[in-house]
Amino acid sequence: MSMRSGYVNNEITSRQVSKLLYLFSVGSAALIVPTATVTIAKQDGWISMLLIVPVQYAIVLVYLALMRRFPRMTIAQYAEFIAGRWIGKSIALTFVFFFFILSTLVLRNMVDFMSKTVLPQTPTWFISGTFMIVILYGVFLGIETIARTGEILYIWSLFVLVIITLSLMNQVHMEFFEPVLANGLITPLKGMYPVLGFPLTECVFLTAILPMVKESEREKLNRGIFGAVAVTGAITTLIVFLLIAVMGSGETTRSPFAVYEMAKLINIEEILVRVEILFAVVWIGTVFVKLSLSVYVLSVLLGQVLGLRAYRPLVFPLCMLIAPLSLIIYRNGVHSTIFAMNVWTVYSVMQGLLVPLLLLLAALLMRKRSRKDGRFPSKEPNA
């Protein structure tokens, strides 16, 4: 593939967007969030995951409403259009910072998982560096390449989930769900808290991806995105349901990567055993998509804030900044748990829901809409 092919590589279909949304939502959250939800909601954690689905619909509706008003602009561009140059740039910079931190945290999650389970003797800087090289290449090639990769990984992730679900059916204990709603609906409502920030409001990445959707595909966009939300809701509910049914809420709360621990329990007549690595491979694939999208959106938004004609020159330096920072972003496991489960939700909700909602309200009140094409030039300047 030509090194310059990414320049014309900026149109995706609605189906690709829905798959990216699914992979981004399930991404790193599939392994970490179920533990957090079950810690709060105990055996009612699966109800929390069901209750979160309408909330995700509402959040996605905000992004779609913004897209209808500014179909070819990213959030950095219409923030400037709505709020004026300097306030708009300040708002866009908060998103740049958000995606920078998000990229760092996602990379750190992946490094923690690899170093604790699969590669315990490999230095963390090596895992972080090698993974970042792949991300760098993916982001450099453009959104279409990431979307096509997502299409492949989507099928695999569903396939592995079906295998794991079927293989665990002989270990389901329905008594682990008792008592159901012992403290009323308040406990499952509390269980929604970590999911709100991680990954629901992180889906604000859509505001930078939706302008890339082909004009002819826009009609199908609503249906595709709502379908992705439904599939994500069903999958995450199924994961939490299985965790509680197989391991019980007590055991689930004790493991930082409970889903991986659950996959270790698969044993069909001593023939089908040790399939957890299959889960790890798929999980790393989904994290790849999530991190690629985060770094892509970060580069695009930063390029637009700085008024550049291309995002590509920024990708390598940003990756060089993300990789070392991911090694020190958390001091230890306790710091990681406290930040990810307590602080991140508030920050993510503010950045991923509150700011877009305020922008939408401002656009509605000021009756602002624009069909200006804000994408980077489709041809390299002096190519």
Partner 1 sequence: MLHVLIIVVCAITVTIFIWRRNRDKGQVREASWAIVILWGAAALQIAIARHLPVSLPTDWISMLLEPIYVPIVAWLKGG
Tell me how far, at minimum, the Cβ of 318 lies from partner 1, in Å: 6
| Nearer to partner 1 (CB atom), residue 64 or residue 329 | 329
Tell me how far, at minimum, the Cβ of 282 lies from partner 1, in Å: 28
| Nearer to partner 1 (CB atom), residue 166 or residue 333 | 333
> SS3 for the chain, per residue?
CCCCHHHHCCCECHHHHHHHHHHHHHCCHHHHHHHHHHHHHHHHHHHHHHHHHHHHHHHHHHHHHHHHHCCCCCHHHHHHHHHCHHHHHHHHHHHHHHHHHHHHHHHHHHHHHHHHHHCCCCCHHHHHHHHHHHHHHHHHHCHHHHHHHHHHHHHHHHHHHHHHHHHCHHHCCHHHHCCCCCCCCHHHHHHCHHHHHHHHHHHHHHHHHHHHECHHHHHHHHHHHHHHHHHHHHHHHHHHHHHHHHHHHHHHHHCCCHHHHHHHCCEECCCEECCHHHHHHHHHHHHHHHHHHHHHHHHHHHHHHCCCCCCHHHHHHHHHHHHHHHHHCCCCHHHHHHHHHHHHHHHHHHHHHHHHHHHHHHHHHCCCCCCCCCCCCCCCCCC
Residues that bind partner 1 in the complex, under the rule CB under 8 A: 40, 97, 100-101, 104, 190, 193, 303, 306-310, 313-314, 316-318, 320-321, 324-325, 327-331, 335, 339, 342-343, 345-347, 350, 380-383
| Nearer to partner 1 (CB atom), residue 284 or residue 308 | 308
| Nearer to partner 1 (CB atom), residue 271 or residue 383 | 383
Tell me how far, at minimum, the Cβ of 307 lies from partner 1, in Å: 8
Tell me how far, at minimum, the Cβ of 310 lies from partner 1, in Å: 6
| Nearer to partner 1 (CB atom), residue 226 or residue 347 | 347
| Nearer to partner 1 (CB atom), residue 15 or residue 312 | 312
Tell me how far, at minimum, the Cβ of 329 lies from partner 1, in Å: 6
